[in-house]
Structure 1
């Protein structure tokens, strides 16, 4: 069964269609995507998961284990190789808790 899309308006006035209950405005999300840095390599759900846990730098990311990061809602196994590569390029890695 296909979900019906509903027209929504975000607090900034953007109008967009969405079929899920997720309140995230697609237009706002696209506007706030970083243009550089490791967060720019991630999809919106993974980026929001890290931001919601106050992980904004690779140094902050390196303070966590891979297992901890995978437990964040919105972050899946496909994101881990991207994060590992970014950490490695900076001479960092996940902690071994």
Structure 2
């Protein structure tokens, strides 16, 4: 007889409540930032625009949206 895996799933399934940049940039770009542990504008400001552009999901449109959002919050990328 098959085992019920619901208890295992409940233990291993972690729901992240990370709304950082939700609605600002697309999911692939947000997930790339999450993989790099960038979860605030302050952490984002430690990177250059070129470094962020190397991440999956970032193109001209995502970068434009991100820069506009950062400007609204008076944050900018690191200068190289």
Please report the TM-score for the alignment, with normalisation by the length of structure 1.
0.59
The answer to whether the 8 A contact 2:21-2:30 is kept is no
Note the residue ranges of structure 2 that are not aligned, 5 or more in a row. Answer: 1-8, 10-16
| SS in structure 2 of the partner of residue 41 of structure 1 | coil
Q: Which residue, out of 36, 50, 55, partners 1:72?
A: 55
Could you say which structure has the larger radius of gyration?
2
Structure 1 residues 71 and 55: CA distance shift in structure 2, 3 A: same
User: Which structure ranks higher in relative contact order (CA pairs < 8 Å, sequence separation ≥ 6)?
Assistant: 2
Distance (whole Å) between structure 2 residues aligned to residue 90 and residue 43 of structure 1: 19
Count the aligned residue pairs.
66
Contact 2:47 2:78 in 1 (8 A): yes
Contiguous gaps of at least 5 residues in structure 1: 1-11, 13-31
Q: Relative to total residues, which structure has the larger strand share, 1 or 2?
A: 1
Q: Which deviates the most, 86-95 or 63-72?
A: 86-95
- Within a 5 Å distance, the mapping from 1:1-97 to structure 2 comes to 34=19, 37-97=20-80
CA distance in 1: counterparts of 2:21 and 2:27, whole angstroms = 12
Q: Calculate the aligned-residue CA RMSD, in Å.
A: 2.1
